[in-house]
Structure 1
Amino acid sequence: MEKGGHRYPRPHRRLPAPRRPPHRPPRPSLRPRHPDLDHRRPPPAADPRRHRHRASRSTSRQRRPTPTRPHLARRPDHPHQQSPRRRPCRTRPRTAAPSPHEQATRHTRPRTTRPHRAARHPIAERRNPEVSTPDNTVQVTSLPNLAQILPYLLGHYPDDSIALHAPGPNFHDGPTMTCPLPDDSAEWQATAEHAARQFVAYAHDRGHDLAEGVIIYLCREPRPGQSPEDTAALLAPVGTWLTNEFMEHRANVLQTIGLVADRWWAYECDIDGCCEGDPLPSPDDPTSVAAQMTRLGRTPGPRTRDIIKEFRAATADPAFLQDLHTAADHFNSRCATNAGRDATLALTLEQIDAAIGRFRDGATALSRALTTQLIVGLQDDAAVEAGVAHADDGDLPHARRLWAYLARHCAEPFTQEAVPILTLFAFVAWRQGDLIAARLALRDAITTDPDYELATGIHLGTIDGEDPRNWLASAREGRAHRLTHLQHAVEVASEYRPATDTTAVRYREALDAAATYYYDQVQTEDGRLLARFGTIDIVNGALADFRNGRPQLMDEISARIILGLQDLHTRDAALSTGEESDLPYERQLWGYLARRCVPPHTGKAPPPLTLLGWVAWRQGDTVTASHAFAEALDIYPGYTMAKLLLDGIRNECDPARLLATYREAAAEFAASRPDLDTL
């Protein structure tokens, strides 16, 4: 998928879902929820009690049990080792994109709207209008106070959003959800109706009966050229759409409050000129929620627009974007093979450690080169898992500043690259107990990439009250596993990785010179037969040299064997069928030849890599064998022999059965050898 103006692989992302291990219990299934909707918030202190201009209810909050250990970013399915299986993250439910609707305009709420709950329940008016909490009591005696309590209820003020709250027995215990309003008002009806359906499902999951009532808050700041009255008029239909959708699900709307430019509107009030654009109560009014909260030492939560400044990208420097594009191209080329991906991942892990160390020492910025390399390196899920592991208590502030710094550099057209970084920021914020910032960052990540499972899983973890320390422990286990793998992978790849020193020039020249003669020879059928049997004779002579302690071949001989092995019949005849005692020499020969397949002759490496992998498999070294086969397939994905043998290892086939087959084929090849003197 092309993202951010460039195309490059994400080597360890979106692998087939692993099977759940028998020792790990399954998670309870949950009703799908919309990840953009913020369902929960830190408990506030106030509780407006509802009658005509009042609201009411009260009980204690119940904590959900700690769930089982969560899933992190999936580990890459490296062919040489089986990672411990993890169950997949819960993924975001797919929803159709909202269809365009007419521009929202002010209109009268239809008569189908249910009457104010106080009118149907006179006893509500006789209740004591106060909200009791374990620590304090807050009086809510008017609709202005009901409007003013929102940032205390949510823990933040949701700019340009729909907020829904169903009062519980103790007002603030009920379920709460926020949903951003799109900039395009033509999408508001679809957004409102979807939000209402999701809130009904969410409340049902929590065992809450919405027939007891829902309070709707509509928050939006005037745009340039708009007055608060104009903005309030635009919001009125949103309340109607929400109310109608709630009625379809037998939910009762108690109040619909509009909050615009520190003024409030009560859309349920039918009296002309009443409850329209009055200022929120002054903190100087001792009966206001703000004054009561101040006396209790409570402050309103920050505004959404102030929270997102920490991690949301602004307009970037064009020169930086060009450097980021170049870094992505280099990431592409380095990740062309398994060995390259492993080397790139190892470098990214070192860079993460270095960056965390610099921020720990007080740095507030990184060099442009390191910033771009980290952004593209974190597109690997294994690197993200290592980033999650950097969430020790002492490093939380430094990690948070690092991830926010990187996310702010992912401006258009590189917003896709911000997704894993925003997820890391959200995890750190979650560890710090800052659920609001965590969910806002996750909302940006999931909006950009709805299929990013780690962001969705963490989002649901914050909703369900999971302990992020379980995720941290899992990430540390994964990082340790990954480091062990990388160390082993470097050792394995050294056996067959093409040379990069001064000898590479000599190898390339030898292959260039031999190619001209070889391709002229194989133009005819007789020439192909001569080349085929001649290559096998040279291979046998080379093996004899290796047995006699001379593990070096002339450049021309090596090039001749490499070119001859491009013929499938020759390659099959060269498959190891000898005794166990010959396997070390055969393995040494094929590794020696694979290292000589230097650019631009890398495409000639699959035959010696496949032969090397087969010998390693016969020796019981499935790690090296799997790496060699995978490397061959990286170079040429359609190389059938490598694919079949790699599948054989993954399916735990017995190589002895294949060996018997190959021995029969080798005998037939030898018996069909023509009299070369007559050709």
Structure 2
Amino acid sequence: MTPQNDQNSVMDGPESLVHILPHLFGYHPEAALVISGLAPGGEPVHFTRADLPADTSDWPMAVRDLLAFQQTRAAKGTETVDGLVAWICPDPADPLYGERSMARHRPLAGLLGVAAASHGTDLLEVVYVTRDRYWLMSTDAYSEGRLISPPPAEYDATALPRSGDVRAALAPVTGDRAYAIAKAVDTVLKDADVQIRTAGHIKVAKDTAALLDRTIRALADGTTTIEQIPDDTAARILVGLQYSHVAGIALEYCEDHELPAARDLWLHLARLCPDEVNWCVVEPTVLYAATSWGLGQEGIARLALHIVNDATREYYLISLLVHAMNVEHSYEGFRKRLRDSRASRSDAITG
């Protein structure tokens, strides 16, 4: 589930349900279920999202969990709610994407209505939203859908990312490339094991921090490119990031001249985590989220955190970033703390 801070937006008609949707989360949700309460003035409150299950047998549980989570949030609030609205946002990769997929998902709208009623609230509308059309599932059962018209300027969402595109950008390498990186990681692990037994964990961590510093500096000043980073280097950084203090140091590359290079590196490393080494994926993906936020792309940051949260729910940096985005609302305050941490380190590991 992905709750966000409530927005000062108002839904005042059917199409406004579509226009407002990406602004609830800072991105266009796809392959997702979204539900929101409506305050008397039409303001969305207590909204949340969940992944849209591809398997219809998983729909009942997904709906029950989504409604229960949303109602738990609502119970903690003080707003009066007139009812609920929901959005079904299909996966653009669905071969039935469009009218046929809408028809397939119609029973899901029914499940949402039953679940809302079980919580003693009315489901006012379920909107099925593709990239260019939408259906009001209470009335548009057999139509080709309604074209999404350009929104008012205050609801323009053309600059906001689509979750499907972000997921595609983070998709791991496959085939020979996956085999090569898995082999490189295996070699690094064996070398690290020898080094740990002879010199200790601190030596491995310090070497990683130094390698990380050289790599980001080279990327930032243009003396190397992402494509020129050897698999051995990538594997050594991925393995070294498993030390929490090394991941914390990596987070501190937060200055304007460092952020683009660091973000490119984290995205590259996240993609170098196929199934064979997916235990490495959490750290670079969280760091990718942090640098995306620093570059003004909060929607991508939240999406990346949601994606990686599926892999682990215990990683402290996820909680740290979510709290910073939800409470501080500005990267600058977060960056100040990173700067203070960076300045306090007289030594890359033990400072």
Matched with 1:246 is 116
**Kept after mapping to 1: 8 A contact 2:36/2:70:** no
Matched with 1:326 is 187
Deviations 1:184-217 (A, max 9, x none): 332222122111111122233343333x122100
SS of equivalent residue, structure 2 residue 242:
coil
SS of equivalent residue, structure 1 residue 209:
coil
Q: How does 1:188-587 map to 2 (within 5 A)?
A: 188-210=59-81, 212-221=82-91, 226=96, 228-260=98-130, 262-269=132-139, 274-281=140-147, 288=149, 290=150, 292-293=152-153, 299=158, 301-315=160-174, 317=177, 318-336=179-197, 339-362=199-222, 363-365=225-227, 366-465=229-328, 467-476=330-339, 478=341, 483-484=346-347, 486=349
The TM-score, its normalising length taken from structure 1, stands at 0.46
Matched with 1:77 is none
Structure whose CA Rg is larger? 1
| Distance (Å, rounded) in 2 between the aligned partners of 1:300 and 1:486 | 39
Deviation of 1:412 (Å)? 1.5
**Kept after mapping to 2: 8 A contact 1:147/1:280:** no
**Greater mean deviation of Cα atoms: 258-267 or 318-327:** 258-267
Identical pairs, percent? 21
Q: Between Structure 1 and Structure 2, which shows a larger proportion of helix residues?
A: 2
**Kept after mapping to 2: 8 A contact 1:385/1:475:** no
**Kept after mapping to 2: 8 A contact 1:165/1:177:** yes
- Could you tell me which amino acid in structure 1 is paired with residue 249 of structure 2? A
Deviation of 1:476 (Å)? 4.9
| Distance (Å, rounded) in 2 between the aligned partners of 1:222 and 1:423 | 25
| Distance (Å, rounded) in 2 between the aligned partners of 1:465 and 1:248 | 36
Deviation of 1:342 (Å)? 0.7
Matched with 1:37 is 2
SS of equivalent residue, structure 1 residue 390:
coil
The TM-score, its normalising length taken from structure 2, stands at 0.85
- Could you tell me which amino acid in structure 2 is paired with residue 322 of structure 1? K
Deviation of 1:300 (Å)? 6.0
| Distance (Å, rounded) in 1 between the aligned partners of 2:3 and 2:197 | 40
**Kept after mapping to 2: 8 A contact 1:38/1:178:** yes
- Could you tell me which amino acid in structure 2 is paired with residue 386 of structure 1? I
SS of equivalent residue, structure 1 residue 410:
coil
Deviations 1:514-564 (A, max 9, x none): xxxxxxxxxxxxxxxxxxxxxxxxxxxxxxxxxxxxxxxxxxxxxxxxxxx
- Could you tell me which amino acid in structure 1 is paired with residue 138 of structure 2? E
**Kept after mapping to 1: 8 A contact 2:254/2:338:** no
Deviation of 1:175 (Å)? 3.4
- Could you tell me which amino acid in structure 1 is paired with residue 62 of structure 2? T
- Could you tell me which amino acid in structure 2 is paired with residue 452 of structure 1? Y
Taking structure 1 as reference, are residues 278 and 149 closer, same or farther at Cα in structure 2, changes over 3 Å only? farther
Q: Which structure 2 residue ranges, 5 or more long, are not aligned?
A: none
Taking structure 1 as reference, are residues 333 and 209 closer, same or farther at Cα in structure 2, changes over 3 Å only? farther
Q: How does 1:630-669 map to 2 (within 5 A)?
A: none
Deviations 1:610-634 (A, max 9, x none): xxxxxxxxxxxxxxxxxxxxxxxxx
SS of equivalent residue, structure 1 residue 307:
helix
In the alignment of these two chains, the number of paired residues is 346
**Kept after mapping to 2: 8 A contact 1:151/1:301:** yes
**Kept after mapping to 2: 8 A contact 1:159/1:303:** yes
Deviation of 1:257 (Å)? 0.9
SS of equivalent residue, structure 1 residue 218:
strand
- Could you tell me which amino acid in structure 2 is paired with residue 242 of structure 1? L
Taking structure 1 as reference, are residues 150 and 304 closer, same or farther at Cα in structure 2, changes over 3 Å only? same
Deviation of 1:157 (Å)? 1.7
| Distance (Å, rounded) in 1 between the aligned partners of 2:328 and 2:65 | 24
| Distance (Å, rounded) in 2 between the aligned partners of 1:205 and 1:198 | 11
Deviations 1:304-349 (A, max 9, x none): 1112333332325122221122112222332347x42111111111
**Kept after mapping to 2: 8 A contact 1:313/1:409:** yes
- Could you tell me which amino acid in structure 1 is paired with residue 254 of structure 2? A
- Could you tell me which amino acid in structure 2 is paired with residue 401 of structure 1? D
| Distance (Å, rounded) in 2 between the aligned partners of 1:291 and 1:209 | 27
SS of equivalent residue, structure 1 residue 309:
helix
Deviations 1:344-400 (A, max 9, x none): 111111111112112212323312221111111111101001011111233222221
Taking structure 1 as reference, are residues 184 and 297 closer, same or farther at Cα in structure 2, changes over 3 Å only? closer
Taking structure 1 as reference, are residues 342 and 435 closer, same or farther at Cα in structure 2, changes over 3 Å only? same
**Kept after mapping to 1: 8 A contact 2:305/2:318:** yes
- Could you tell me which amino acid in structure 2 is paired with residue 48 of structure 1? M
| Distance (Å, rounded) in 2 between the aligned partners of 1:297 and 1:487 | 48
Taking structure 1 as reference, are residues 177 and 435 closer, same or farther at Cα in structure 2, changes over 3 Å only? farther
Taking structure 1 as reference, are residues 166 and 389 closer, same or farther at Cα in structure 2, changes over 3 Å only? same
Taking structure 1 as reference, are residues 360 and 313 closer, same or farther at Cα in structure 2, changes over 3 Å only? same
Matched with 2:10 is 47
Deviations 1:137-168 (A, max 9, x none): xxxxxx34533543355432211101223234
| Distance (Å, rounded) in 1 between the aligned partners of 2:119 and 2:58 | 22
**Kept after mapping to 1: 8 A contact 2:91/2:97:** no
